[in-house]
Amino acid sequence: MAGGLGIAALLLLPLALWGTTAVKVGHTVMQSEFYQRDESKEQQDSEFMFDFDGDEILHVDHDYKETVWRLEEFGKFASFKAQGALQNMAIGKQNLEISIAHSNKSRATIVPPEVSVFPKYRVQLEEPNVLVCAVDRLWPPVLTVAWERNGQAVSDGIYRSVFYPREDNTYRLFSYLTFVPQRGDLYVCRVRHKEIPEEFQKEWEPKVPPAASETTQTVVCALGLAVGIVGIVVGTILIIKAMKMNNAHNHRGVL
């Protein structure tokens, strides 16, 4: 097992951030935490989470000051006090202030996100499903995700994950939208990174075979009926021929 091994002091403009990294040896249990501040808007944000091989175990909700388990069952077999994480976040804030005071406020390298959209389950019209907007390889971990359906903003049925750390020190995030697929719908996931002017977006629409027209259905049914009748006729002819051949064989046997 390997855990969170390093502490890095990172400074951006206008965003300042302090966080941790990990080195992978076999399976990895990663403790990821950061504190960041947007100096232009005087906003701050922080995160503390545990990750096992890329899957979240828990994170601490800074606003409600409580531990949130990725699955409720995890909390039945283990415990984690949120107070320890909150203290770590406070230390991160202090470290950031020290870094700002002793730095020249140089800008860090910005990594634009990679965005993709896909359904969680096989798509069937009128069957409830979940659309996933995956935002990967971004740095720093600060962005907004918005959904649209047919050009209209969607606000209900949306769930967003925490930022998941990657081994290359970038982050990934997932936004989930519950929906019911309908023919002709167009969904758009819009991603805006705080440090990049342009917006990133991906479109998605249900990929299902076109509905057959009434005329097409009638033709298909007629063809099926015709094939069935031909089969019956051919079968009847073959049976009659077989019976005649059998009778002729029996007559020759008597002679």
Residue 199 banded pLDDT, cuts 50, 70, 90: very high
Dihedral Cα 132, 46, 56, 129, nearest 10 deg: -20
pLDDT (average), residues 85-98: 85
Calpha distance 86→46 (Å, rounded): 9
Cα 171 to Cα 11, 35, 50, 79, 209, distances in angstroms: 16, 14, 14, 26, 37
The stretch 92-115 carries a mean pLDDT of 81
Position 228 pLDDT exceeds 70: no
pLDDT for res 101: 78
pLDDT at 40 over 90: no
Compare 223 and 198 and report the one with higher pLDDT: 198
Mean pLDDT of 46-63: 87
pTM (whole model) above 0.85: no
Checking if the pLDDT of 75 tops 90, the result is no
Distance CA 239, CA 228 (A): 16
